[in-house]
């Protein structure tokens, strides 16, 4: 049996029935509580279910919110490094550190962003109402964990400068984030992988871009892309990715910012 409690944040976006405000915006902190059940199938797999409750507020005329979830946990087991090297000589490359410099441009449009956000195509990412026309970013990633051949988990940090698509507004971002890397194709001179990063806490220097109110300076960074290692010792890296900034509805205003294709080059060591 599981019990939990902690901070809950309620955000409500109000609206008007002209010319009267029907529901006001609201953001307030409260106490979140929950109970659940974790059933162990074996040493790796657990099934779980949980009920979370955020109490209502008479001050903000906000009802109680209940959330029911079901899912599973998979427990990873570390393998000693020496046996890994002995038993997997042809395993994927898992560099300890990656440093890259990237350039984003909408010269090719936003078709890639649309493809991965359109509900009628391949909706596995997000799009924003505001967008960047171009920008430059510098990124550092450090490997935290990897399996023998299936995936790696990195911690990353970057700083970027962007120019908005419509008004030419200059703004800056800085973020820290987790990155999941999955190897795709391995050949003798090249190795390709897929990377996906979610909900990296970030700072954005402007709260209004192209006329859209973004909320606050706190936001989240997400990105997805494809990359490769190449060169004589495969110490060179290249990536193509799309990115997105939004505050995850922590604030009433959350139009989001779309970042077009970004092409990055760097080194791994």
What CATH number should be reported for the domain holding residue 189? 2.40.160.20
Which of 93, 199, 196, 104 has the alpha carbon at shortest distance from 154?
A: 196
Each residue's pLDDT tens digit, 90-115: 667 788 999 999 999 999 999 999 99
Each residue's pLDDT tens digit, 26-38: 888 999 999 999 9
Distance (Å) of CA 59 to CA 16, 19, 27? 19, 23, 12
pLDDT of residue 266: 96
Residue 86 inside a domain? The answer is no
Is 4 buried (19+), middle (13-18) or exposed (0-12) by CB count in 10 A? exposed
Residue 105 inside a domain? The answer is yes
Q: Which domain holds residue 130?
A: 94-268
Is the domain of 40 the same as that of 69?
A: yes
Cα separation of 122 and 107, whole Å?
22
Cα separation of 214 and 22, whole Å?
22
Is the domain of 161 the same as that of 244?
A: yes
- In the block, tokens 């290249």 appear at 238
Residue 147 inside a domain? The answer is yes
Is the domain of 101 the same as that of 56?
A: no
The pair of structure tokens assigned to 36 is: 């659940």
Residue 150 inside a domain? The answer is yes
CB atoms within 10 A of CB 148: 12
Is the domain of 251 the same as that of 118?
A: yes
Residue 210 inside a domain? The answer is yes
Q: In what order do the strands lie in the sheet with 26-40?
A: 2-12, 26-40, 45-54, 65-74
Mean pLDDT of 35-60: 94
Residue 149 banded pLDDT, cuts 50, 70, 90: confident
Is the domain of 179 the same as that of 221?
A: yes
Is the domain of 100 the same as that of 173?
A: yes
Instruction: Report the share of the chain in percent with pLDDT over 70.
Output: 95
Which of 102, 41, 34 has the alpha carbon at shortest distance from 69?
A: 34
Residue 87 inside a domain? The answer is no
Is the domain of 156 the same as that of 256?
A: yes
Is the domain of 108 the same as that of 32?
A: no
What DSSP letter does each residue of 91-129 carry, written as one string?
PPP--SEEEEEEEEE-TTTTHHHHHHH-TTS---S---S
pLDDT at 171 over 70: yes
pLDDT at 148 over 50: yes
Average pLDDT for the chain:
90
**What is the reported pTM?**
0.79
Structural domains of the chain, count: 2
pLDDT of residue 91: 66
pLDDT at 187 over 80: no
Domain boundary among 23, 39, 74: 74
Mean pLDDT of 29-51: 94
Each residue's pLDDT tens digit, 78-88: 656 555 555 45
Residue 235 inside a domain? The answer is yes
């Amino acid at each position: 049996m599981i019990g939990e409690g902690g901070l809950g944040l309620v955000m409500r976006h109000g609206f008007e029935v002209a010319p009267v405000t029907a529901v006001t915006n609201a953001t307030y902190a409260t106490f979140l509580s929950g109970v659940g059940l974790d059933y162990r199938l074996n040493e790796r797999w657990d099934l779980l279910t949980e009920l979370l409750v955020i109490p209502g507020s008479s001050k903000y005329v906000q009802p109680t919110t209940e959330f029911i979830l079901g899912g599973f946990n998979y427990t990873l087991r570390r393998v000693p490094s020496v046996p890994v090297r002995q038993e997997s000589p042809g395993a994927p490359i898992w560099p300890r550190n990656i440093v890259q410099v990237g350039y984003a441009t909408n010269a090719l449009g936003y078709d890639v962003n649309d493809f991965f956000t359109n509900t009628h195509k391949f909706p596995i990412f997000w799009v924003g109402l505001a967008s960047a026309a171009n920008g430059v970013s510098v990124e550092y990633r450090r490997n935290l964990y990897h399996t023998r051949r299936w995936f790696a988990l990195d911690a990353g940090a970057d700083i970027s400068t962007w120019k908005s698509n419509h008004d030419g507004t200059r703004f800056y971002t800085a973020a820290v984030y987790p990155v999941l890397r999955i190897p795709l194709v391995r050949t003798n001179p090249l190795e390709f992988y897929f990377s996906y990063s979610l909900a990296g806490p970030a700072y954005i220097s402007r709260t209004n871009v192209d006329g859209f109110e973004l909320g606050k300076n706190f936001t989240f960074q997400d990105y997805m892309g494809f990359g490769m290692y190449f060169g004589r010792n495969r110490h060179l890296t290249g990536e193509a990715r799309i990115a997105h900034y939004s505050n995850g509805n922590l604030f009433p205003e959350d139009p989001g910012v779309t970042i077009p294709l970004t092409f990055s080059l760097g080194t791994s060591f």
